Structure 1
Amino acid sequence: MNRAFLSLSKSISVAVLAVSSFAAMANTHEEAKPAKADPAKGEALYTNGDAARGIAACASCHGAAGNSTITANPKLAGQHDAYLVKQLTDFTGDTRKNAIMTAFAKAMTADDMKNVAAYLSVQKSKPGAAKNKDIVELGKQIYRGGIAEKNVPACAGCHSPNGAGIPAQFPRIAGQHQDYTFTQLTGFQNGSRKDAAKITGARTNSAQMVTIAKKMSEDEMRAVADYVAGLK
């Protein structure tokens, strides 16, 4: 009888230990889950910044609710949140070069980036407009059909016919400032150079865009930038 009792006690102990271990694993898994993005916190940081951490208000350069009025600075309203997080992260490394953005991005936490991105992704982007009627048709042709003789694919293939992009893969570019789009295409073109790391604005964070931009002329890039500005 004692032997049976000991055997039963041992079985109960093993069962309790197993349940405890499972509970501990469950709690660890629960704690490991990433924090959910908080658009409200993102709006506060975007609008007011955080002086104590050296983060200026994003709105001072990118405009209220992400609608930049400075043509050298991109419109961020309505941009895919995953894309925004990737770009902010890239500014902390060697694939995107911008002294101002690198300083701010390095001061932000991963949660800061996700929160700001979540806020901007649900803002409504104000439309832009093509300005140069002499080149917009060329831009339209390249955007929709590419440049066959140069093996340049249609921009619409990745950024969609209306410029809305594909979430988590390719950015929204509809209505973007001409100046900004042209500068980025030039940055991708410079990214193919061996000394790209020394060039302000050089971008190597998209192998596809580096390859494509390298094949385009300045006039072709300007034409695409102007056409994109008028997309809605």
Structure 2
Amino acid sequence: MIEQTKTGIDGLDDILNGGIVTNSTTLISGNPGAGKSILCLQYLYNGVEQFDEKGIYLSFEENESDLRQAAESLGFDKWPEYVDNGDIKVYDKQVLLRENDFSSSLELLLDDLEDDEYDRLVLDSLAMFELFFEDETEKRTYLLKFTDILRENGLTSLLTNEQGAVFPDTEIGLENYLTDGNIYLIQTPTDTGVNRYVWVAKMRKQNIETDIYPMEIDWGGIKVHQNASAFSMMSEEESPI
């Protein structure tokens, strides 16, 4: 039996057939406003609230106070309590970007990453993380090193990836090869707002539902609906996996 880590997100664990493979890294991709950071907040919050699993949030884009406000605005009322008592450890951009290189920032994290006390990790986002590096070779080296460290220390991790287009690009990036799973969050404009969807494109070691499912963001965070969407995003030949 493959051990799985439940996200606790309504409907998402169902299409994952139980949850994310424990001790894996999953890429959460989407265009701005698609809900990537919300999913990550919810993943760590549910870890503490529902499963007694502590988490680490690495934010290269937000301050700790901004994350706190975002969490509370979604109804994650105990977020400040969990951060204050150490159930959720936040490294925000003021801390992570204080150093001039990733090696220095990694030194700040290693004690917590190697601590068996933590089970879940979020890195938000890879686009900002990659600003540490001058060329593709250096980025490749450190991204591989970092994902290896996460796996070696038993962390089940989500890494967010900014995507300019509404639909997933068919170009395969390095991060797609280094992660165990790919989840796309999609939003399409309508006359009255936006429609939101989730597509689990890849999960190594497990069977998943690969249809596109409607989702909504409301009080309490993300909820995925079980009625698969009627449209196909791309043909099998165009699929990036």
Using the size of structure 1 for normalisation, the TM-score is 0.27
Larger Cα-atom Rg: 1
Structure number with the higher strand fraction is 2
Larger RCO, structures 1/2 (Cα 8 Å, 6+ apart): 2
